[in-house]
């Protein structure tokens, strides 16, 4: 069990960016304080080497350029807010429109594009990297100053635990998540359509043509969205216009940590199980990946990775029937997601 810290690069401002390598003697995880991003998850192969099972870049330059949020911490608000607008306590707010007519993943400069304060430590839970960022009042149009702490913990049981804590001095929407793209065959080793998934979710959120929820919580049974029993991700994807990019409603969600999704890769025998105390998770199949140059000369095309982003429901500030995403000054936004790897 070991944590190594090294320089990942330097920004044009002269600010140093660090990379933390967490090694539990079975698997290795890379975390950078630029965007509080997961840069690598190395799982052992039967060929006596490691495969990296998340998409991303080998250098800082890739993360500072335009990319589809590889491994990044997302905030203040993960997913979409319709037309970038919401009303709160009698005041109307307009956020940046960075996804067509909508606001996506925190705006033009979300939490994925800033340098976080970071420190590492070892405790009885495992190997930890704690990252902190203070988002000022008015940041990307959001009200209130928001203090955010994210702790990544690699346990001896091959779990990567993400703990989110946020507090604000004014009411504001908050929906923090992580945007890692997984390919259990190894990044750059083809698409994920043959991965087999099962979701503990009996409903999902249908969306409009601009991917905003309609407000309906629709049953998955008998539809292409049904992963109640394990099936290949690609089996029904042709029946989903554009591919999967939908929020699933976790069955039995009560605010306690529960298992919500499992993915198995039959060629390698690797598996990923996800648990969370949040009510939903976005399942995204890399529909918009378009020959992105990644690690080791890899080129990521459509469906090169899948995302499982635990979260509150998209567009919650505008949909009163959804669980509230408004954090008030007297409250703490605290949630946990655990990715457990089998190999």
Q: Is residue 4 annotated as part of the catalytic site, yes or no? A: no
Q: In what order do the strands lie in the sheet with 270-276?
A: 117-123, 126-135, 146-154, 159-168, 333-342, 270-276, 258-265, 196-199, 231-232
| 323 vs 75: CA distance, rounded Å | 18
Tokens of 254: 């009560």
Please answer whether residues 331 and 318 qualify as being in contact, where contact means their C-beta atoms are separated by less than 8 angstroms. Answer: no
Residue 196, beta-bridge partner list: 232, 264
Q: Is residue 265 annotated as part of the catalytic site, yes or no? A: no
Instruction: Supply the DSSP string of 53-80, one letter for each residue.
Output: -B---SSHHHHHSS-S-TT-EE-SB-SE
Q: Kind of pairing, strands 177-178 and 37-44?
A: unpaired
Q: Go through 202-236 and write b for each residue having 16 or more CB atoms within 10 A of its CB, e for each that does not.
A: bbbbebeeebbbeeebeebeeeebbbeeeeebbee
| 170 vs 104: CA distance, rounded Å | 22
Instruction: Give the three-state DSSP class for 49.
Output: coil
The residues, any chain, with a CB within 8 Å of residue 12's CB and separated by 6 or more, are none
- State the Cα angle at 215 between 207 and 140, rounded to 5°: 75
Which of the residues 67, 103, 179, 335 is marked catalytic? 179
| 77 vs 98: CA distance, rounded Å | 13
Which of the residues 167, 187, 265, 309 is marked catalytic? 309
What amino acid positions are annotated as catalytic residues?
179, 309
């Amino acid at each position: 069990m070991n944590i190594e810290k090294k320089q990942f690069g330097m920004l044009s401002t002269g600010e140093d960016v660090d990379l933390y390598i967490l090694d539990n003697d079975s698997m290795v995880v890379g975390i950078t304080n630029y965007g509080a991003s997961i840069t690598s998850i190395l799982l052992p192969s039967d060929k006596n080497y490691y495969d990296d099972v998340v998409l991303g870049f080998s250098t800082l330059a890739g993360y500072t350029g335009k990319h589809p949020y590889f491994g990044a911490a997302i905030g203040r608000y993960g997913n979409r807010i319709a037309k970038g607008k919401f009303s709160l306590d009698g005041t109307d707010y307009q956020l940046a429109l960075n996804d067509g007519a909508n606001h996506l993943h925190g705006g033009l400069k979300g939490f994925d594009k800033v340098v976080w304060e970071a420190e590492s430590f070892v405790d009885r839970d495992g190997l930890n990297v704690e990252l902190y960022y203070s988002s000022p009042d008015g940041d990307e149009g959001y009200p209130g100053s928001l203090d955010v702490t994210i702790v990544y913990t690699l346990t001896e049981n091959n779990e990567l635990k993400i703990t989110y804590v946020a507090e604000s001095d004014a009411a504001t929407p908050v929906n923090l998540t992580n945007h890692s793209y997984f390919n259990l065959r190894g990044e750059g080793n083809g698409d994920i359509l043959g991965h087999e998934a099962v979701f503990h979710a009996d409903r999902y959120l249908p969306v409009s043509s601009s991917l905003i929820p309609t407000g309906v919580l629709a049953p998955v049974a008998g539809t292409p969205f049904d992963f109640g029993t394990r099936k290949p991700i690609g089996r029904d994807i042709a029946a989903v216009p554009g591919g999967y990019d939908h929020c699933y409603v976790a069955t039995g969600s009560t605010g306690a940590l529960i298992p919500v999704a499992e993915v198995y890769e039959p060629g390698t025998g690797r598996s990923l199980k996800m648990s969370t105390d949040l009510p939903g998770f976005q399942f995204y199949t890399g529909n918009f990946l378009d020959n992105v140059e990644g690690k080791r000369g890899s080129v990521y095309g459509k469906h090169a990775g899948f995302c499982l982003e635990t979260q509150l429901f998209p567009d919650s500030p505008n949909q009163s029937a959804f669980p509230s995403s408004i954090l008030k000054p007297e409250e703490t936004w605290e949630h946990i997601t655990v990715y457990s790897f089998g190999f």
